Amino acid sequence: MKRRTILALAAGAGVSSAIPALAQQGPIRIGELNSYKNFPAFLEPYKKGWELAVEEFNKAGGVLGRQIEIVSRDDSGTPADAVRVAEELLSRERVAFLIGTFPSNVGLAVSDFAKQRKTLFIAAEPLSDKIVWDQGHRYTYRLRASTYMQTAMLIPDAVKLKKKRWAIVFPNYEYGQSATAAFKKLLKAQQPDVEFVTEQATPLGRIEAGAVAQAIADAKPDAIFSSLFGPDLAKFVREGNSRELFKGREVFNLLAGEPEYLDPLKEETPKGWYVTGYPWNEIKTPSHQKFLDAYQAKFKDYPRLGSVVGYATIQSAVAAIKRAGSLDQEKLVDAMSGLRHDTPFGEITYRAIDNQSTMGAYVGQIEPRDGKGVMVNWRYVDGKDALPPDDEVRKMRPAN
């Protein structure tokens, strides 16, 4: 039957034309950009996570009577390219708003672009504290627990050990610099006599692991704080193991318990490191089990932390659209403030005070077991319990 005949019949039967009108609008297009080629270990699972979420929402009828379509682009891992891609997504692809990004410097660049264009940007992964505090603004919201938050989650264990001499190693860009600053500030506040005997700032993806390990050994620290991840972490572990750098020393490492970075260590996994991570196979909450079952059924693989982040990012986007009841930018941004929704890690809230979500992280230790690394002694720390007091947040965040 021709379309006008169908509409005439529907009108004659007293059926509202709202349904065909919605169908004519087509899908809601959301712009997603990320550094897929640069950080495949995290972002390939992340992509699977958002694909699963989109499939589930669309099977359930979409949102506002329309299907969801993700228009995804690679941002090459550089701020300049990311801003160019973001502009193309808005101007050429006509997306409703923006989600994604991975490195902190890229996330900050896209956030600034979103502010200029007055467009909602849900920053999925960049961990920089600046994105919601120093350079925070109305149009950017961040999903993942920040650098400060994850560092704060490790501080109680560090304080209990009462180690005085600390060495620090970090990738020398926004994320690593923020992690180092937060760790020093938070530890010093609770242990005033602590000393930081060496700081090794390494170029991202190009660590000279042997030289770094030797420099740390020469400083004779009691403990080590690291924010290395990916190939840099693997190289550091290998050199540290061969030089017995970790023997008799406590080590704290952000992100090292995430499967993306823990799994490649295999039998080289150091025993006893304190980490943030994701013990995917041991979490038994209903929200996580539902996600786990669906993910494994679709991909015949286990999820990584990136999978959870990708999935939850789409949950946030859909929840905002539903709450706004519109794709108007100002209504969407208003809807994000105080927004609550479920995730595989449980319910989260996007705080009105700084646009930071309360998604938490799993904290524990790692050890080798049957030729692979596993998380042990783990616990979930709610993000709301790892944030500074509101009066401190107000001092850090500009009034805009």
Same-domain pairing of 372 and 224: yes
83, amino acid identity: V
For 162, the domain range is 148-281+361-391
Q: What is the rounded distance in angstroms from the CA atom of residue 225 to the CA atom of residue 176?
A: 11
117 and 59 in a common domain: yes
User: Is 400 part of a structural domain of the chain?
Assistant: no
Q: Report the candidate in 69, 329, 366, 110 with the shortest Cα–Cα distance to residue 233.
A: 366
- Which tens digits make up the pLDDT trace of 103-157? 999 999 999 999 999 999 999 999 999 999 999 999 999 999 999 999 999 999 9
- The predicted pLDDT at position 400 comes to 59
| 298 in the same domain as 345 | yes
Cβ–Cβ < 8 Å for 150, 276: yes
The reply to whether 82 and 103 lie within a common domain is yes
Using left for φ > 0, alpha for ψ between -120 and 50, and beta otherwise, residue 272 falls in: left
Domain membership of residue 13 (yes or no) is yes
CATH number of the domain within which 134 lies: 3.40.50.2300
pLDDT of residue 363: 98
Residues 352 and 368 occupy one common structural domain: no
Distance CA 12, CA 299 (A): 47
pTM of the model: 0.91
The per-residue pLDDT for range 29-77, each reduced to its tens digit, is 999 999 999 999 999 999 999 999 999 999 999 999 999 999 999 999 9
Per-residue pLDDT of the chain (400 residues; tens, 9 = 90+): 334 433 343 334 443 333 334 444 799 999 999 999 999 999 999 999 999 999 999 999 999 999 999 999 999 999 999 999 999 999 999 999 999 999 999 999 999 999 999 999 999 999 999 999 999 999 999 999 999 999 999 999 999 999 999 999 999 998 999 999 999 999 999 999 999 999 999 999 999 999 999 999 999 999 999 999 999 999 999 999 999 999 999 999 999 999 999 999 999 999 999 999 999 999 999 999 999 999 999 999 999 999 999 999 999 999 999 999 999 999 999 999 999 999 999 999 999 999 999 999 999 999 999 999 999 999 999 999 999 999 999 999 987 5
> How many other C-beta atoms can be found within 10 angstroms of the C-beta atom of residue 190?
11
